[in-house]
């Protein structure tokens, strides 16, 4: 429990930030999942289109410092490699 006014305000802000961060991370995971589903489906055009939609979502989280830039690069690189490897 917060003891001071400023600690109470910080706790309120932390809850808001946490809720926003959870939602944004969920958006990223959904975008990555849609690319993975398209790759599994075997349709390269759909996979490429969903990848192009997922990249800005991932980059947004980096700019907001919700995920590390190396994690974002790793996700994008692995997805792109899987799309390139498709027939």
What pLDDT, in 10s, does the model give residues 10-29? 999 999 999 999 999 999 99
Inter-residue contact 31 to 55 (CB < 8 Å): no
This prediction's pTM? 0.86
Inter-residue contact 66 to 21 (CB < 8 Å): yes
Domain 5-84 has CATH 3.40.50.300: no
Mean pLDDT of 51-58: 97
Whole-number CA gyration radius for the chain = 17
User: Looking at residue 2, what is its pLDDT?
Assistant: 84
What sections of 1-87 are H helices per DSSP? Answer: 5-41, 44-63, 69-84
pLDDT at 7 over 80: yes
Q: Which residue has the tokens 């995920």?
A: 67
pLDDT at 74 over 90: yes
Domain positions in the chain are 5-84
């Amino acid at each position: 429990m917060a003891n001071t006014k400023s600690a109470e305000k910080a706790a309120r802000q932390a809850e808001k930030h946490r809720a926003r961060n959870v939602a944004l991370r969920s958006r990223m995971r959904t975008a990555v999942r849609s690319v993975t589903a398209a790759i599994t489906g075997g349709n390269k055009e759909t996979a490429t289109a969903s990848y192009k939609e997922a990249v800005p979502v991932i980059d947004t989280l980096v700019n907001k410092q919700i995920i590390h830039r190396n994690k974002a690069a790793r996700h994008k690189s692995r997805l792109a490699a899987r799309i390139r490897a498709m027939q």
